[in-house]
Amino acid sequence: MIKRLNLKFGRANGLPPESILTTPITIFVGPNNSGKSKILTEIQQFCSHGQQLATNVIIDSIELNQVNSNEIDNKVTNITLEPNPGEALGQNNILIGKRGQRQQINENQLKQALLNPSSNLSIVCRYYLSFNTIMLNGNNRINLVNQQAAGNLQQPAHSSFQVLFRDDDKRSEVRRIIHESFGKYLVVDPTNLGQLNLRLSSVEPDEPRQERGIHEEAVRFHANALPITTASDGVKAFTGMVIEMIAGDPSILLVDEPEAFLHPSLSFKLGKEVSGIMSELDKRLFVSTHSSNFLMGCIQAGTPINIIRLTYQNEIPTARVLPNNDILKLMRNPLLRSTGVLSALFYEYVIVTESDADRAFYQEINDRLLKHTENKGISNCLFLHAQNKQTIKTIVKPLRELGIPVAGIVDIDIIKDGGAVWSSFLDSGFVPEIEWESLANIRLALKRKFEESGRNMKKDGGINILEPSDKEAAENLFSKLGEYGLFTVPNGELESWLLELNVTGHGPNWLVEMFEKMGEDPESADYLKPTNSDVWDFIEDIGKWLSNPIRKGIPN
Helix (H, G, I), strand (E, B) or coil at 142: helix
Rounded Cα distance between 377 and 539, Å, is 8
Phi, psi angle pair for 153, to nearest 5°:
-65, -15
219-273: pLDDT as tens digits: 999 999 999 999 999 999 999 999 998 988 788 999 999 998 899 999 999 999 9
Burial (0-12, 13-18, 19+ Cβ within 10 Å), 74:
exposed
Q: State residue 236's pLDDT score.
A: 94
Q: State residue 280's pLDDT score.
A: 66
Phi, psi angle pair for 285, to nearest 5°:
-115, 125
- Pair 287, 241: CB distance under 8 Å: no
Sheet of 284-288, strands arranged across: 133-136, 252-256, 284-288, 25-29, 305-313, 316-322
Locate all alpha helices (DSSP H) within 116-262, ordered by sequence: 121-124, 160-166, 168-182, 208-212, 216-223, 233-246
Name the amino acid, one letter, at 46: F
pTM: 0.87
Per residue of the chain (556 residues), give pLDDT as tens.
899 999 999 998 888 999 999 988 999 999 999 999 999 999 999 999 888 788 899 999 999 988 888 888 888 888 888 888 888 888 889 988 877 788 899 999 999 999 999 899 999 999 999 988 999 987 788 889 999 999 888 877 878 999 999 999 999 999 999 999 999 999 999 999 999 999 999 999 999 999 999 999 999 999 999 999 999 999 999 999 999 989 887 889 999 999 988 999 999 999 999 888 887 657 899 999 999 999 988 888 877 888 999 999 888 899 999 877 777 777 777 777 777 888 999 999 999 999 999 999 999 999 999 999 988 999 999 999 987 888 899 899 989 998 999 999 999 999 998 888 899 999 999 999 999 999 999 999 999 999 999 999 999 999 999 999 999 999 999 999 999 999 999 999 999 999 999 999 999 999 999 999 999 999 999 999 999 999 999 999 999 999 998 899 998 7
Helix (H, G, I), strand (E, B) or coil at 385: strand
Q: What is the sign, positive or negative, of the torsion defined by CA atoms of 539, 541, 547, 552?
A: negative
What's the residue count for the chain?
Answer: 556
Q: What is the CA radius of gyration of the chain?
A: 30
Q: State residue 281's pLDDT score.
A: 59
Q: State residue 489's pLDDT score.
A: 97
Burial (0-12, 13-18, 19+ Cβ within 10 Å), 112:
middle
CATH match for 2-137+250-324 among 3.40.50.1980, 3.10.129.10, 3.40.50.300, 3.30.70.920: 3.40.50.300
Q: DSSP states of 237-262 as a string?
A: HHHHHHHHHHTS--SEEEEE-TTTT-
Rounded Cα distance between 220 and 222, Å, is 6
Q: State residue 9's pLDDT score.
A: 94
The bridge status of strand 381-385 relative to strand 316-322 is unpaired
Q: DSSP states of 174-187 as a string?
A: HHHHHHHHHS-EEE
Q: Give residue limits of the domains in the chain.
A: 2-137+250-324, 142-238, 332-547
